Amino acid sequence: MGEVLYEPGEAVTQVYFPTNAIVSLLYVMEDGASAEISVVGNEGFVGVSLFMGGGSTTSRSVVQSAGWAFKLPGQRFMDECNRHSQMAELVLHYLQSLITQMAQTAVCNRHHSIDQQLCRWLLLSLDRLSDNNLVMTQELIANMLGVRREGVTAAAGRLHKLGVIEYSRGRITVLDRPQLEALSCECYSVVKKETDRLLPYLVPRKDG
C-alpha cells in the first residue's frame, strides 16, 4: 500500500494487471493537493496511455490496497494487441468503462456530499476485493477524495453509528452492503452497470 507505480509525465514502459490489489489514479495539483479520478482492480490494467498512443501518463498511479499484479513490458503488450483483434477489443471495452468511471467521479465530487462520495468509494473498492475488509487510513481516504480528513472522520462515524461499517486501526469492514448501496448516490450504480455491460467476463463476488 502506498507504492507509486507512475508519476505524472512519466513514460509508460510497463503495464500492470492487478489480481487482488487496487491501484488509484490521482490527479496532482501544483501545490501537491491530489484527488482520485479512478480506481483499477482485477477488471483492468494500469498504463492505458500506452495503448492510446500517448506514451506518458498525466496521473499518479499509487497502490491503494496492497496485493498482487502481473507486470508486462509495454512493447510486448502492444504487440499482442496488434496481433489479436479480440484482445484489442477487450482493451477498448475496458477503456470505455474507465472513462465512465472518471466522468462519474468528477460529477460526484462536484454535486454529492462527502457521505455519498465515501459510500461510492467503498463500494468501488469492495467490487475489486475478495472480502469486505479494506486496510486504509482516514487520511489516505481524504487524499483520494480530495477532501479534509475531518470530513471523512465524520462521514465514517455516521456510517458506523448506522451499523454499515466497522472501523478500527486503519481497517474498515463493511457489515451491511445493501444499506451502503442505498446510502450511496446514483454514481456507483451508473459505473457498475456500465462495467458489467462492457466486461461480462468478470467473475461476480459471492456476496453479490
What was the pLDDT predicted at 4?
A: 95
Does 138 have pLDDT greater than 80?
no
* Confidence band of 109 (pLDDT split at 50, 70, 90): confident
Q: Which own/partner contact pairs does 137-141 have at CB distance under 8 Å and 24+ positions apart?
A: 137/170, 140/2, 140/64
Does 92 have pLDDT greater than 60?
yes
Average pLDDT over residues 105-124: 91
Three-class SS string for 111-158? HCCHHHHHHHHHHHHHCCCCCCEEECCHHHHHHHHCCCHHHHHHHHHH
41: left (phi over 0), alpha (psi -120 to 50) or beta: beta
Does 177 have pLDDT greater than 70?
yes
Any idea where the domains of the chain sit in the sequence?
A: 4-198
| pLDDT tens per residue, range 181-202 | 999 999 999 999 999 999 987 7
Please state which of the ranges 70-84, 145-159, 173-187 shows the lowest mean pLDDT: 145-159
Helix (H) or strand (E) holding 110: helix 85-111
**CATH H superfamily, domain 4-198:** Jelly Rolls (2.60.120.10)
* Confidence band of 169 (pLDDT split at 50, 70, 90): confident
